[in-house]
Structure 1
Amino acid sequence: MIAGHGCQTSATFFSIVKQDARQPTSSRPGAAKRRSEHGQEKLARAPLPRRFLQRHAGRQFDIALLLAIFASLVVVMLDSVPGYDRYGELFYALEWGFTMLFAAEYLLRIAIHPRPSHYIFSFYGVVDLLAVLPAVLALLLPEAQYLLIIRVMRMLRVFRVLKLLPYLSQANFLLVALRGSRQKIIVFLFSVTTLMIVFGTLMYVIEGSEHGFTSIPASIYWAVVTMTTVSYGDMTPKTPLGQALATLVMITAELASAMQSERLQRICPTCEKSAHEPDAAYCSRCGNALFPRHPESAAGEAPRG
C-alpha cells in the first residue's frame, strides 16, 4: 500500500509538472505574473487532499534529488583519497547509478518542457548535462578522468531544488546595494590599488631583496595579501621600520573595509536611496525596511509614510 501510494505520488507530481509546463505563453506585459497568480489561486481552491499531494510530492522529489546530489559528491571525494582504493569497485558501481539517475532526470525534464531547446541551452540545462556527460566519458574512457572535476558543478543544482528564499532575498539586497554604490566602489577599488602600489614600493625600499622583497611586483603582492588580511607568511618584514609600515597597512585595510561595509548598508534595496541616518531602520523615501531579515514578513508589511 505504501509503495503504491509512493508511485501514485510520483506519477501525480510529474503529470502536474508536465501540465503546468505546457501552459501557453504570452508576450504581453504582466502575463507571467497573472499566470502565476492564477495558478496559485487555482491551487488554493483545490481540495485539501490534492493540495497536500502536490506539495508533498514536490517536496519528496526535491529531498530525494538533494540527497542524491550530496551522495554523489561524497563518492567523488572519497574516490580521490588514496586510502580508499580498495573500494574502487563500489565507487564505480555507485558512480554508474548516480549517472543513470541524473541522466533520467535530464531526459525527463526535456520531455516535459514545452520548449526543450530552451531548457537544453539554458544555464541549468547546461549544468545538468555537465553533471552527466563527464561521468559517462570518464567511465568509458579512463584517460578522461580529469573531467571528473566538472561534476562538482552538480552542486549548482542544489540552488534550484531548495527553497532558499531568505538567501536569495539577501543576495538581491546585496546586488541592489552594489549597483547603487558602483561609482563609490570604483573609487574605492582605485584608491585601494593605489595604496597597494605605494605600500609595496615603500616596503621594497625599506626591506630590500636581502629580506625577501626581491622586486616591486613581489612587494606589491605582499601588500595585497596583507591588506586583504590573508597574510600567507611567505614574505615578512624584518626591520623595525618595515614592521611599522606593515602595521600601518593592516590598520588602513581594516578602516577601508569598515567604511565600505557602512556604505553598502545605507542603500535602500527598494528605491536605492542612500545617505540614511545611522540608526534608520526604514527608508525615508519609500518607507520600506532597509534590512529585511525575513522576506515573508517584509513582503507583507505595508510601507510606512
Structure 2
Amino acid sequence: MKESEKFKYLNNFRVKLDVVIFGTDTRMGRLFDVILLYVILVSIVLVMLESVQSYNLAYGDFFNIFEWFFTLFFTFEYITRLWISRKPLNYVFSFFGIIDLIAVIPTYLTLFYVGGSYLVVVRAVRLLRVFRILKLSRQISESRVIVTALVASRHKIIVFLGAVLTLAVIMGTLMYMIEGGENGFDNIPRSIYWAIVTITTVGYGDITPGTVFGQSIAALLMLMGYAIIAVPTGIVSSEINKASKKMSEEINVLCSCGKRRHFNNARYCFNCGTVLDL
C-alpha cells in the first residue's frame, strides 16, 4: 500500500471514528453514547461496592479484574479522542479532557505503590475513580442547559448568598448576646454556625437556645429559611427557561475539539473555549 493510500485510509478511519464518538445525532454515535453511559454507571457502582469491607474481602479479585477492564476501556476512549481531535491540546486541557484523564490515572498509579506502608496512599488514589461520574455530563445534553443557567445566574446568587451570610452574622452575634455564652453559644463563630444551620432548616440540634427570646428568634429564622431557599430556586429556574429557548436556536458549527452544536450567539466553543469559525 502506497504512503498516500495509507494516509487516505487513516484519514477516512479517523472521520468514521469522529462520527461514532462525537456524532451524537448519528445511529453509531448514539449507540456509542449508550454503551459508554452504561460502562460509566457500572464502574461507579463497583467502586462504591468495593468500599464495603465484606464485599471487598469476598469479591476482591472480581473487583480488580473489572477495574482493569474499565480502565483499559476508558484509556482507549481517551487515546482515541486525543487522536481524532483536530487540536489535541485543546481537548487535553478542556474540562472533559481532564476528567477523562482522572478516570484512568488512579488504577495505573496503584502499580507504583506496593506494600502496607503505601496502603493509605493507594486507597486515597483509588477513590479518585469516583470522578468518573462527571463523565456522565457529556452523555446528558440537558446538562448544558443547567450549566448555562448556573453561569448566567452566578452574580445574582453571589449577591443573595452575601445577604444570607450577613443575616447569619447578625443573628449569630445577637444570639450570643441573648444566650450569654450558655446552651452551646460559647462564642460568636459557633453562634453564626447555629444561625446558618437554622436558616437552611437543617437543624442538627447540637446547639439549642434556652431563653424564650432566643427560641423566638430561632422560630423566626426557621420560617425565614423556607423563603430563603425559594429565592435561588426561582433565579436558576428562570435562567433554565431562557437557556432552553436558546438551545432550540442552536447552529451546527463544528469546533476543532469535535463539538458541533452551539448557541446561535456563541463566539467560543462551550467545550474547549476555542474561537468558533462562524
Query: Fold match, TM over 0.5?
Result: yes
Given that 1:13 and 1:57 are in contact with CA atoms closer than 8 Å, whether structure 2 keeps it comes out as no
Q: Show the 5 A alignment for 1:230-245.
A: 230-245=202-217
Question: SS of the counterpart of 2:61?
Answer: helix
How many Å separate the matches in 2 of 1:147 and 1:131? 11
Deviation at 1:202, TM superposition (A): 1.8
Flag the 1:63–1:137 CA change in 2: closer, same or farther, 3 A. Answer: same
| 3-state SS, counterpart of residue 201 of structure 2 | coil
Given the alignment, which residue of 41, 50, 57 partners 1:79?
Answer: 50
The whole-number CA distance in structure 1 between the counterparts of 2:222 and 2:107 is 46
User: Structure 1 residues 197 and 106 mapped into 2: Cα distance closer, same or farther (>3 Å)?
Assistant: same
Using the TM superposition, give the Cα deviation of residue 158 of structure 1 relative to its aligned residue in structure 2, in angstroms: 1.1
Match of residue 66, structure 2, among 94, 98, 103: 94
Q: Using the alignment, how far apart are the partners of 1:111 and 1:104 within structure 2?
A: 10
The alpha carbon displacement at 1:193 in A equals: 2.5
Q: Which amino acid aligns with 2:80?
A: L
Matched, 1:208 2:186: no
Mapped partners of 2:98, 2:235: distance in 1: 37
Q: In the TM superposition, what is the alpha-carbon distance from 1:77 to its structure 2 partner?
A: 0.7
Aligned to 1:161: 139
Cα deviations by residue, 1:199-249 (Å, 9 ceiling, x for unpaired): 112211222333111111111110011112222111111222211110122
Q: Which runs of 5+ in 1 are unaligned?
A: 1-11, 22-38, 40-53, 270-289, 301-305
Q: TM-score, with normalisation over the residues of structure 1?
A: 0.65
| TM-score of the superposed pair, with normalisation by structure 2 | 0.71
Residues 27-86 of structure 1 deviation map (CA, whole Å, 9 limit, x = unaligned): xxxxxxxxxxxx9xxxxxxxxxxxxxx822111111111111111111111111011111
Aligned to 1:16: 16
How far residue 295 of structure 1 moved from its aligned partner, in angstroms, is 4.9
Contact persistence 2:149–2:236 (CA under 8 A): no
Give the deviation of 1:296 after TM superposition: 9.1
AA at the equivalent of 2:27 = H
Query: What does residue 199 of structure 2 align with?
Result: 227
- Shift of the alpha carbon at 1:145? 2.4
Percent of matched pairs sharing the same residue = 40
Taking a change above 3 Å as real, the CA distance of residues 108 and 260 of structure 1, as seen in their structure-2 partners, is closer
For CA contacts below 8 A with separation 6 or more, give which structure has more relative contact order. 2
Structural RMSD (CA): 3.3
| 3-state SS in 2 of match to 1:233 | coil
Query: How far off its partner does 1:13 sit?
Result: 8.7
Which string of whole-angstrom CA distances, capped at 9 and with x for unpartnered residues, describes residues 86-105 of structure 1? 11111111111111111111
Give the structure with higher Rg (CA): 1
Q: Which amino acid aligns with 1:57?
A: M
In 2, Cα distance between equivalents of 1:189 and 1:214: 25
